[in-house]
Structure 1
Amino acid sequence: MKPVVALVGRPNVGKSTLFNRMTRSRDAIVDDMAGVTRDRHFGEAMWEGRPFVLVDTGGFLSNDADSFAAHIRAQVEMALEDADHVVLVLDGKSGVSYYDRDLVDLLRAKGKPFFCIVNKIDGERHEIALTDFYALGIEEPFPVSAEHGYGFSDFMDALTEDMPLEDEGNDGQPEGPIRVAVVGRPNAGKSSLINRLLGEERMVVSEVAGTTRDSVDSLVEYGGKTYLFVDTAGIRRKGKVTHRVEKYSVIKALQSLERCDVALVLLDASEGVTDQDVRVAGYASDRGCGCIFVCNKWDLMPPEKKDVKRMKEELAMEAKFLGYAPVLTISALTGQRVIKLFPMIDKVYEQYISRVGTSHLNRIIEDATARTEPSLHNGKRIKFYFASQVRTSPPTFALVTNYPDAIHFSYKRYLVNQIREALGLDMTPIRIKFQERSGRTDYSDKRSKPSPELLRKLQAKRRSRKRRNR
């Protein structure tokens, strides 16, 4: 699991601005008005090859007339419980507040070490403002400007110093059970399916949507293999999620997708394919795990509507980005075809961790580019020099080319489809990364100039050739 870093501080100190800079995004709303952020906001971040999960929290107020103050405090405390690293953000312009003292006391009571940054410090001449914050008992606050980037690199180096580097070379099958997350809308039958697979009533099942609040792991052995099934809370549309506990449950469900190999996207067949089903499938696709569409409650379908082919066509139309995901119709209540999940999970997982030889991969790319060449870039040909698989889970391939940014997404999709067809990887996501050629210079590009040393060698060779011709 990636380390979790939580940003905490009182309102309007710049946490969301810092969040956007650390994640290199604009996902967090930033405004001069205090209290814009009320709930926790999660994002992916990386610094010098060290990935981590970043959590932005609402402004901390120990006692306030605002009706959201208690809710925000609860969100902050939950973020502190889950965090591996805590960053306390202080305001260098407004100075020390008694809310800052309350927050420092809370962090010390939790017993977690924390980094302290004093934000809105735009240069060395403003670092004198740091002296006021030593009264909080903080040894080394980092002067930072989240908006302009001053001091940001030094702070990030210190924060990520002990974090593990990203694993780019996953060779072979990972140890341990196959991890399977069961996700879907509330009341789709996720807990009923887990109970059926376990053969016991371990999960609380109710007709009331939202019964499951946390992600629960369950080990299942079948056919000599071990599977870790994760029952998750139902994921509703953001506008429908209002209760604090439910929001926390949805976050936990999304985190479960981070650590799974295969996601079972559960649909209520009696209601058909909804927009939220497609949205949940998109969450699984974005996190790069293998996917299986599981149409539950098939026993409730009228006989005239029990058309598996039509269901597959509907899913193919609504979720085109998951065209590789297989579809299975089941009934968790009666056990109909539930047992078929295991061989299907095995097939998806086998492709998910598959590896191909470099020479074979290069032949596939050569044949594909010879059959259909990419479009010209500024009148010049796009060349592919070398291809290799850089990781599994999912299969990820790096293609070295002269113009990586000029390759159209449609041609990238074409290469993915060629790899699928050649390797039989029809049930797993595939990722392609284009990398610029390093080392030798491509002289077909007139903007590329040889070094002076190389130019002298070329001129000497020409002079030598002329002498021999004489």
Structure 2
Amino acid sequence: MIPTVVIAGRPNVGKSTLFNKLAGRRHALVSDTPGVTRDRKDATAQLRGKTVRLVDTAGLEEAAPETLFGRMRASSEAAVSEADLVLFVVDGRAGITPADEHFAAWLRRQNRPVLLVVNKAEGRAGANAALEAFSLGLGTPIGVSAEHGDGLADLMGEIADRVPDNSDAEPAGERPLKLAIIGRPNAGKSTLLNRLLGEERMITGPEPGLTRDAVAVRFTDADGTEIELVDTAGLRRRARIEQPLEKMSVSASIEALKMAEVVVLAVDALDGIHDQDLQLARLVEREGRACVIALNKWDAVPDRNAARRAVSDRLQTSLAQMPGIPVVTLSALTGQGVDKLLPAIRKAHAVWNTRIATGALNRWFEDALERHQLPLVDGRRLKLRYITQPKARPPTFIVFGTRAEQTPEDYQRYLVNSLRDTFGLPGTPIRLQFRGTRNPYADE
């Protein structure tokens, strides 16, 4: 097993900046706004030859359990309970606060190895703050500046010395299926992720927009498939996005979508398919990703037959470029129907990976050209000669022929729809490109 290193501390002491520096790239959102991190965020890092799992956590704050800050603290405490090493971070500029003393005392009771880190410890003031941190009773503090990189080499060495050796760990298996959950705010994305994992991994509640960053979690489903699942911040219409922090959240969500193989579009079944949901589905199609629509909160829908018809009609008229897109009705809150989601995801992934033998592909192509004669363009009939599939993920085809690039859009749609029907490619994006054969004497 890879040892787990959890970064904890009160809000705005620089935990996410330190997390990004140790991980070697920007994984977590960083802002001057206190409390940006709400959910635990993981990353794998190499520190002095040892592989560790880094976990960034929300700031530790005193709050009632039912409040948002109380739920954030519970998530951080759960991460600490699983840690092989806790980095307790304090702010060298602010000095040791009563909150630091309170949580240091709490950490001493958790029976977990703790390494005290004094961040923002630049210059003489930082050195004095590091000395002051001895009073917390957590051993010798290490002064660093995560923002400027000062002291990080010593910190990495100290972490590598304290975590268990994992050199005998089994090598990683096949690459996991990359899955992202996207949707509008309050569609139930985080609740769905928690239901799939079987644990309260993400902060949930009635407040819209709780998730701010794209948070990845790995798990193995009942079928033995390893999945890297990413929960994302809710995506609103661009005109409504004003705050810099929300802009960063949206950027992280779109980046997660681009890195995914299959995207689950979570839709509030009580609202039906909204215009913004369709915009997100079109974005998935443009990025060439497989898509499954999860109609969440299905248990609360009063007339389910009418809701099914409305969703089907809306998709047929407004998402014609992805006919046959799988739709799964479920309730992330109660678990009803969630067992149908992962099989639908695996099937969509298989379709997205489809490769068709060249012989079968060209037999279909000849039949398709016979069924519908090629059109005239500028008074001359097009000549399409053959088709190849250079790649999958998504299925991509190239048609060659004389003036093939002039093929009208309606004939291109006919070929795409015929490909879907003949080879069983529902819902997945299909890329069909046309390349003409140039006459070498045309310019003579």
Question: Under TM normalisation by the shorter chain, which class is it?
Answer: 0.5 to 0.7
Moved over 4 A (4+): 303-307
Whether 1:426 aligns to 2:426 is: yes
Residue in 2 that maps onto 1:210: 209
Q: Give 1:193's aligned amino acid.
A: L
Q: Tell me the CA shift for residue 175 of structure 1.
A: 4.7
Q: Tell me the CA shift for residue 333 of structure 1.
A: 0.1
Q: Which moved more, 1:181-190 or 1:317-326?
A: 317-326
Matches within 5 A, 1:300-379: 300-303=300-303, 307-379=307-379
Q: Tell me the CA shift for residue 249 of structure 1.
A: 0.6
C-alpha separation in 1, matches of 2:427 and 2:267? 19
C-alpha separation in 2, matches of 1:384 and 1:359? 16
Q: Give 1:321's aligned amino acid.
A: Q
* Cα distance per residue 1:61-106 (max 9 Å; x no partner): xxxxxxxxx99xxxxxxxxxxxxxxxxxxxxxxxxxxxxxxxxxxx
Whether 1:235 aligns to 2:210 is: no
* Cα distance per residue 1:377-424 (max 9 Å; x no partner): 222221112211011100000111211331111111111111112211
Q: Tell me the CA shift for residue 308 of structure 1.
A: 2.6
Residue in 1 that maps onto 2:403: 403
Contact 2:183/2:189 (<8 A) preserved: yes
Q: Return closer, same or farther for 1:383/1:448 CA change in 2, 3 Å cut-off.
A: farther
Q: Tell me the CA shift for residue 330 of structure 1.
A: 0.6
Q: Give 1:274's aligned amino acid.
A: H
Q: Give 2:203's aligned amino acid.
A: V
C-alpha separation in 2, matches of 1:202 and 1:359? 48
* Cα distance per residue 1:313-369 (max 9 Å; x no partner): 233233223323111111000001101111111111111011111121111111111
Q: Tell me the CA shift for residue 289 of structure 1.
A: 0.3
* Cα distance per residue 1:218-247 (max 9 Å; x no partner): 112121111111100000011211111111
Residue in 1 that maps onto 2:187: 188
Contact 1:261/1:290 (<8 A) preserved: yes
Q: Give 1:259's aligned amino acid.
A: M
C-alpha separation in 1, matches of 2:202 and 2:375? 54
C-alpha separation in 2, matches of 1:208 and 1:176? 35
* Cα distance per residue 1:23-74 (max 9 Å; x no partner): xxxxxxxxxxxxxxxxxxxxxxxxxxxxxxxxxxxxxxxxxxxxxxx99xxx
Secondary structure of the residue aligned to 1:320 is coil
Unaligned runs of 5+ in 2: 1-31, 34-146, 150-172
Q: Return closer, same or farther for 1:310/1:275 CA change in 2, 3 Å cut-off.
A: closer
C-alpha separation in 1, matches of 2:320 and 2:419? 18
Q: Give 1:416's aligned amino acid.
A: V
Q: Tell me the CA shift for residue 300 of structure 1.
A: 1.4
Q: Give 1:341's aligned amino acid.
A: L
Contact 1:266/1:296 (<8 A) preserved: yes
Q: Give 2:273's aligned amino acid.
A: V
Number of matched residues?
A: 276
Secondary structure of the residue aligned to 1:362 is helix
Q: Which moved more, 1:300-309 or 1:269-278?
A: 300-309
Contact 1:212/1:233 (<8 A) preserved: yes
Secondary structure of the residue aligned to 1:235 is coil
C-alpha separation in 2, matches of 1:360 and 1:448? 37
Q: Tell me the CA shift for residue 370 of structure 1.
A: 1.4
Q: Return closer, same or farther for 1:175/1:437 CA change in 2, 3 Å cut-off.
A: farther
Unaligned runs of 5+ in 1: 1-69, 72-108, 112-173, 450-470
Q: Give 2:392's aligned amino acid.
A: T
C-alpha separation in 1, matches of 2:271 and 2:357? 45
Secondary structure of the residue aligned to 1:322 is coil
Residue in 1 that maps onto 2:111: none
C-alpha separation in 1, matches of 2:274 and 2:300? 17
C-alpha separation in 2, matches of 1:272 and 1:310? 8
Q: Tell me the CA shift for residue 303 of structure 1.
A: 4.2
Q: Return closer, same or farther for 1:382/1:423 CA change in 2, 3 Å cut-off.
A: same
C-alpha separation in 1, matches of 2:398 and 2:174? 25
C-alpha separation in 2, matches of 1:316 and 1:249? 31
Q: Return closer, same or farther for 1:305/1:399 CA change in 2, 3 Å cut-off.
A: closer
Matches within 5 A, 1:284-303: 284-303=284-303
Secondary structure of the residue aligned to 1:265 is strand
C-alpha separation in 1, matches of 2:320 and 2:243? 32
* Cα distance per residue 1:139-161 (max 9 Å; x no partner): xxxxxxxxxxxxxxxxxxxxxxx
C-alpha separation in 1, matches of 2:216 and 2:272? 28
Secondary structure of the residue aligned to 2:381 is coil
Q: Tell me the CA shift for residue 285 of structure 1.
A: 1.1
Q: Tell me the CA shift for residue 307 of structure 1.
A: 4.2
Q: Which moved more, 1:370-379 or 1:265-274?
A: 370-379
C-alpha separation in 1, matches of 2:242 and 2:354? 42
C-alpha separation in 1, matches of 2:351 and 2:358? 17
Q: What's the % identity of the aligned pairs?
A: 38
Secondary structure of the residue aligned to 1:299 is helix
Residue in 2 that maps onto 1:220: 219
C-alpha separation in 2, matches of 1:395 and 1:424? 12
Contact 1:254/1:283 (<8 A) preserved: no
C-alpha separation in 1, matches of 2:290 and 2:185? 21
Q: Which moved more, 1:234-243 or 1:301-310?
A: 301-310
C-alpha separation in 2, matches of 1:185 and 1:290? 19
Q: Give 1:410's aligned amino acid.
A: D
C-alpha separation in 2, matches of 1:238 and 1:289? 21
* Cα distance per residue 1:155-205 (max 9 Å; x no partner): xxxxxxxxxxxxxxxxxxx95111111000001000000000000000011
Residue in 1 that maps onto 2:413: 413
Q: Tell me the CA shift for residue 110 of structure 1.
A: 7.1
C-alpha separation in 1, matches of 2:393 and 2:187? 27
Q: Give 1:298's aligned amino acid.
A: W
C-alpha separation in 1, matches of 2:292 and 2:264? 5
Residue in 1 that maps onto 2:250: 250
